[in-house]
Amino acid sequence: MAKNSYPRLFSEITLHTMTLKNRVVMPPMCTNFATIGGAVTDRMIDYYTARARGGVGLINVEFTYVHPAGKVFDHMLGIHDDRLIPGLKKLSDSVHQGGARIIIQIAHGGRRVHSDTTGLTPVAPSPIPRLNGETPKELSQEEIGDLLQTFILAARRAKKAGFDGVMIHMAHGYLLQQFLSPFSNARTDRYGGDLEGRSRFPLEILREVRREVGGDYPLTCRICGDEFLKGGFDLSQSIGLAKMLEASGANALEVSAGTHETGQVITAPPYYPMGFLSPLSDAIKKEVKIPVGVVGRIHTPELAEELLRQGKADLIAVGRGLIADPDWPRKALEGRPEAIRPCLSCNQGCGDRMYFQQDISCAVNASVGREATFPVEAARKKKKVLILGGGPAGLEAARVAAMRGHEVHLYEKEKELGGQLNIASVPPAKEEIQKFKEFLIREVRKLPVKVIHRKLDARAFKKITPDWVVVAVGGKPQGMEGPGFHDPRVISAWDVLSGKKETGRRVVIIGGGQVGLETAHFLLQDEKEITVLEMLKRAGQDMSLRARKVILEKLIQGGAEILTEAKALSVEKGDVVFERGGLRERFRGADSIVIAVGTVPQEEGIAGLGRSRIPVRRIGDASAPGKIFDAVHEGYQVGIEI
């Protein structure tokens, strides 16, 4: 094993009576892998056990509801019934066998619950609806007492199920943070008012749970360092809460941030800096003696080590990074950080799917949630596989097929591998896509994949005599129909991002989807005057909700004008004619008109295939335009099927 380059990260730490082998923590992240009744499934066990085997020191199991009325998603994990204990015990046993410690997070959704999920009216400290939500019923003091009992019973079940500790969820706009925040708590009784009153219920839960589980059982709390919301819970209040939690028996704190109205902070898109929440953990750590953990786009062991060296945290919570690569800790410990599959912070597979009541996955790791059902195993019969195209779909197909022992020939007509990843990595804050491209190329280069940088011809096809053909040649920019769109001022967003063509100062971008908005963001760096025309009612409809919110804010702050329900009709000597609200309007004097209206598959014949019965599979944008998620998953799938 290589010398440990991260001595602090891979040093032991004790949380009360529990010793962790390292400081890498998997924070609680909902998976939607449970049954509709909240029971553990084999799929969930496989998912967590893979991360345990990957070397993480502590796994904090996801939000687990203490009462059916506190369930936020259909397939959330529950701990509200004794009948769930055997499944939970099976989970804790498996994680222990994998080499990690395991804590379970107990919680209630409060006003973040929807009656469509529970069949019950949501409850909260005050009848204040969440964003786009129902108006909850205000809890009476008697009902608060009843809920206190559900947390106590949940902790009792957790201990019986073999968990090493319990985490009480006091963040992310769920019930306990709703009590803590002046934004959502307007009570005038003993559970409202100042910080002491608003903290009363969370502190009662902590003290009573401590009484239930005993003095030697680790209890941790996840807290909100700042809601980043006017009139909300801020850092000064969080510091006050942290002191009270320490005095009331908490053994460690994990500092997160954000609430339902500022969800972009909870699962931050790439527009936020790496480790951006560390100032919050730093400020809180200075005021308490118990260990403090930090979350927030900590994707590399180098950053994790630096945060520990600076004393900004005692524990490093790697969330989406461990979804992307369950072996993150082991690779770091072995001195192979370049082998870690990089998280894109895109939320395509995790946050967005969870939000829409789907099971989580990952844009860059197609095996998430399928660890046991779709493993990369040696093929029973080795085959010759011809792959056309070296973009994300083709590279992933080549990687998986070669790992399974097939003879892989990858043809890419361009000088550089990566396909559209080379363009997608250009806009601001998209550097992680470049790292993912480099990761895929490195992985393919390590394997016996024959990479040929030229267009396949009939002679080469005949020489290979493949058993399988995978077409992953990607797509091309969709053009515009109508008068004037052949004007030399009309160029594609791909040409702009690739550097093939430059724009003038006044730019009209036709198409306000992800490519159009990211191209606008890119051009704003050069102080261009940007107008975006989007046919739909909202720009960025094809984007992650949280990324969309941030990029629109950045574009507006940068002076870009975004016109929705605006259909471009023609170009007339630099003027863009469009229809909006039933009226024709004209943007005059555009120096450049950038087209970003979508992608269409490349139509590329396969020289030499003829009437052969060789199986041919089209994947990625060569099949249908999609995202990185689609390309990687289709590449993985075909690599497994061959």
In a 3-state reduction of DSSP, which class is residue 525?
coil
User: What burial letters (b/e) apply to 150-174, b meaning 16+ CB within 10 Å?
Assistant: bbbbbbbbbbebbbbbbbbbbbbbb
Side chain identity, residue 301: P
CA atoms within a 13 Å half-sphere pointing along the CA-CB vector of 339: 12
The full length of the chain comes to 642
Query: Of 641, 234, 196, which is closest to residue 400 (Cα–Cα)?
Result: 641
Q: What backbone torsions phi and psi does residue 131 show, to the nearest 5 degrees? A: -60, 125
CA distance 309 to 125: 40
Cα angle, residue 111 at apex, residues 132 and 129 outer, rounded to 5°: 45
Query: Of 73, 75, 94, 62, which is closest to residue 161 (Cα–Cα)?
Result: 94
**Long-range residue pairs from 491-494, CB within 8 A, at least 24 positions apart, any chain:** 491/592, 491/593, 491/594, 491/595, 492/594, 492/595, 492/596, 493/519, 493/594, 493/595, 493/596, 494/423
> Who contacts 252 (Cβ-Cβ below 8 Å, separation ≥6)?
15, 16, 218, 220, 221, 290, 291, 292, 293, 314, 315
Are 80 and 68 in contact by the 8 Å Cβ rule? The answer is yes
- Tell me which of 48, 174, 191, 411 is the catalytic residue: 174
355 is catalytic: no
Query: Of 474, 477, 473, which is closest to residue 513 (Cα–Cα)?
Result: 477
The per-residue DSSP string of 378-397 comes to --SS--EEEEE--SHHHHHH
Side chain identity, residue 470: V
Distances in Å between the Cα of 374 and the Cα atoms of 28, 369, 377, 621 are 24, 9, 9, 23
CA distance 589 to 106: 59
User: What burial letters (b/e) apply to 422-449, b meaning 16+ CB within 10 Å?
Assistant: bbbbbbebbebbbbbbbbbbebbeeeeb
CA distance 128 to 183: 9
Environment class of 87 (CB within 10 Å of its CB; exposed 0-12, middle 13-18, buried 19+)? buried
Say which residue the tokens 């100032």 belong to.
279
User: What burial letters (b/e) apply to 510-531, b meaning 16+ CB within 10 Å?
Assistant: bbbbbbbbbbbbbbbeeebbbb
Task: Give catalytic residues, as residue numbers.
Answer: 174
